[in-house]
Amino acid sequence: MNGLQLFTTIRCDPKLLKAADQGFSDIGWNQTPSPFYMLDLHRDRMLKAAIHWRWDTAVRTLEGREGIKTLEHFLRTNVTDADGTPYQAKVLIGQEGVLSLVKKPTGPANLNNLFPSSLPAPSGQAARDSPAVGTAPERNFEFEILVDKHTTPKSQFTHFKTTHRPMYEEARHRAGILNLTDKKEVLLVNSEDGSIMEGSITTPHFWRNGRWVTPPIPREFDMARGSGGNYGTSRRWALERNIVVEEVVYANSLADGEECWISNALKGRRAAAFSNYL
């Protein structure tokens, strides 16, 4: 596909430099510390996509220790944090292996929501296991979650994050989500079995059988396996720390008012509640 680019959106926040000093542990890349949230996982997601499309020049830009150093240097050179302002940096790479950037200031994010040790159970519910001792995210239910009335076929463009995004744009349009500042998210539904794939810009977490679950997605692209959603960075971070586990969740199992969590690599985890179907 002509003009196709891979991309990932990274939170660049001087406040992240203080995370380890404030007692946050098991926070991966940011334990170093670094102002770039989960930078290694962002690199990994782009590298996997470049390998999938056999973009050898892009692979050479991103692979190995030098690939992470290249990405880190690119951000340090192009994203200013001298005034303490957090930025979102949309990093793109094409087949030729050249990095480019779209940046803009972004709002604050609580470190507890970026680095939770667990997610609290919904109101009135008890967890199957005792919650991990440590940091719990703020829970303010700012977001309303809708379910798309159309279904979406899974493909390489739903597994990998690319600039080819009509399926997400159309779902947001149907949901009446006009811009990224709207406090709404829409969930895409798999056209094969009616299961939830993912959100248009977030990964959803659902409460099932006393624990938080997220739709299954194979680490390697496989049309025969998984829900068809994106193997995102915040999702991988939570799975590797057993904050969530994988489980199929069908759209017709969701209830109006049901509490959930949504996550992405810009704001971390945010509490939300379902509204009626569109």
pLDDT tens digits along 129-162: 655 556 789 988 888 999 999 999 999 999 999 9
Q: What's the rounded Cα separation, in Å, for the pair 184 and 157?
A: 23
Give yes or no for a contact between 234 and 113, defined as CB atoms under 8 angstroms apart.
no
If phi over 0 gives left and psi between -120 and 50 gives alpha, with beta otherwise, what is residue 53?
alpha
pLDDT score, position 81: 67
Lowest mean pLDDT among 61-65, 140-144, 156-160, 187-191: 140-144
- Please give the sequence-ordered ranges of beta strands (E in DSSP) within 19-121, or none if there are none: 87-93, 99-105
Residue 49 scores a pLDDT above 70: yes
Position 274 confidence tier, pLDDT thresholds 50, 70, 90: confident
Residue 179 scores a pLDDT above 90: no
Give the closest residue to 254 by CA, choosing from 144, 141, 119, 174: 144
DSSP string, 142-192: -EEEEEEEEEE---HHHHS-BS--HHHHHHHHHTT--STTSSEEEEEEETT
CA distance readout (Å), 156 to 42, 55, 87, 94: 18, 15, 29, 16
Dihedral in degrees, nearest 10, Cα atoms 160, 166, 172, 177: 110
- Token pair listed for 20: 């380890």
Token pair 């069908």 is at which residue?
250
- Please give the sequence-ordered ranges of beta strands (E in DSSP) within the chain, or none if there are none: 6-12, 87-93, 99-105, 143-152, 184-190, 196-199, 203-208, 211-214, 245-246, 259-264, 268-274
- Token pair listed for 163: 């600039």
Position 125 confidence tier, pLDDT thresholds 50, 70, 90: confident
- 87-93 sheet: strands from edge to edge: 6-12, 87-93, 99-105
pLDDT score, position 17: 95
HSE (CB half, 13 Å, CA atoms) of 276? 1
pLDDT score, position 130: 59
Dihedral sign from CA coordinates of 75, 101, 156, 179:
positive
Task: Please state, rounded to an integer, the average pLDDT across all residues of the chain.
Answer: 93
Whether the full predicted model's pTM is greater than 0.85, yes or no, is yes
Domains and CATH numbers, the chain: 6-108 (3.30.470), 112-274 (3.20.10.10)
pLDDT digits (tens, 9 = 90+) for 199-225: 999 999 999 999 999 999 999 999 999
Dihedral sign from CA coordinates of 38, 39, 44, 46:
positive
Q: What's the rounded Cα separation, in Å, for the pair 162 and 173?
A: 19
Give yes or no for a contact between 228 and 238, defined as CB atoms under 8 angstroms apart.
no
